Chain A
């Protein structure tokens, strides 16, 4: 049953790609997390990197992007059986923490698959209102067809499939541990990854390029491990946790992304525990898939890696939040990023000019 659901994710993703190249092309945030409002809506690209000082709104934007299309329907992701609005609130200590100033309501507008979506988060109840082109969306199971139509996924009958269109990787070790455990325990996901050959391709195309050893395959039981081929032809089975935080993180997230194949991948603090080589390999891998990517970083290695990989339709968005928590931004094309590097200019420091 579960496996069938996962197969439908893939079918759904392909269907949506026919509707639009990008899942979310624009976002405007009001009174959500640390952002009071955006000076102007942000236009996203197929591959977008957010940079800015600490507390400049990067994580808040990624979390806002995580909410659609179904902020509060229950589903199983990361091993949690909770609505994604609850998942975010658990990361921040309560639903009120999702609202700017801890009172009132948040409103987030999106251009999502060429339609205008709006999500309203009231402070007083843990349920969001969703509007598509101004019309309130009822997403009880009997109204699923209408929701699927709004997403361009005609005929989809599975709420779970719609939920997994967006995959968010927060900088949270608890989520990482849950995803790791779930890969070890969920037979349906394991079978899906084995059938698609992802357990081999991730070992060969990701892990082997980051380390000096040669790994041939990932095994899920009794625990997540990689088979290492020794020079004498013998094999060792190395626990994934013993390959270092960076390789473990990359492998676990890559396996999940291969299993779910979301339309939108969100990744906060992308560079954490990653050597520049791993950064570049992961950027390359992400760019080779048919999904939209938005990630945040403080690392110059990520920006430099971006120039080397040159994903199609990529851009950098510099963010700055004013003292009044108004979010301003400036876009940089890859050519502009390269020109700044040529002149020895650090784009991360240039965000200071956005206050002018």
Chain B
């Protein structure tokens, strides 16, 4: 433990969490983030209780610039569903294109997994500031519900369609909900079901 001399030191440890999608991302993030030491960084997710502009996809990356310029927060974690990208579309290239269109320069992109399927580590610059962006893509084909179904299969042995209603119905039958499933799940199961986020959090925590 170290005594901070200046509150501004803390700013460098904050990672702003951005998502243009629903509440599941927050639940998954909470569950998985608990598994890490957390000494290195603080995840800051001032999420709206109700999405006022849901499904906005890559447009959520516009907020990166605001965090850097207005609040001095130099790290962002962006959570997005696979369906926001076209099939066979290169995630890194698409993210770079979006960032550039929002006035954010991309200096380097590093993939966390082969073929750039799950996560990206992006070094960016906004004006004179250098910053980092972690991109996590949920789902193999469509959305985070595919990953949640995968977790249910590992933890509960169930086979469910990857849509919100089917997941809710199945979990209710077992006296569970999405949040309690995630909270009770074993570390290993979470890491298998959400490999992209697992990589990103390791990188953030390093």
| A binding-site residues for B, Cβ under 8 Å | 300, 304, 330, 332, 336, 338-346, 348-350, 352-356
Contact = CB atoms under 8 A, between A and B. Distances in A.
Contact of B52 (A336, A341, A356): A341
B63 A340 contact: yes
B92 interface: no
B48 A346 contact: yes
Contacts, number: 75
A343 B7 contact: no
Interface in B46-104: 46-49, 51-53, 56, 59-63, 65-66, 70-73
A216 to B, nearest CB: 35
B66 A340 contact: yes
B20 interface: yes
A304 B48 CA distance: 11
B19 interface: yes
B39 interface: no
Contacts of B20: 342-344
B7 A345 contact: no
Contacts of A304: 52
Contacts of A332: 66, 70
B60 A342 contact: yes
A354 B73 CA distance: 11
A116 B154 CA distance: 69
Contacts of A343: 18-20, 56, 59-63
Contacts of A340: 63, 66
B115 interface: no
B126 to A, nearest CB: 13
Contacts of B66: 332, 336, 339-340
Interface string B16-60: 101111000000000000000000000010111101110010011
Contact of A356 (B10, B51, B61): B10
A341 B47 CA distance: 9
Contacts of B10: 356
Given A341-B48, A342-B56, 4 more contacts: A300-B49, A338-B53, A343-B20, A350-B71
B162 to A, nearest CB: 22
B8 A342 contact: no
Contact of A344 (B8, B48, B72): B48
B70 A342 contact: no
A350 B19 CA distance: 15
Given A330-B70, A330-B71, A350-B71, A342 B53 contact: yes
Nearest to B102: A339
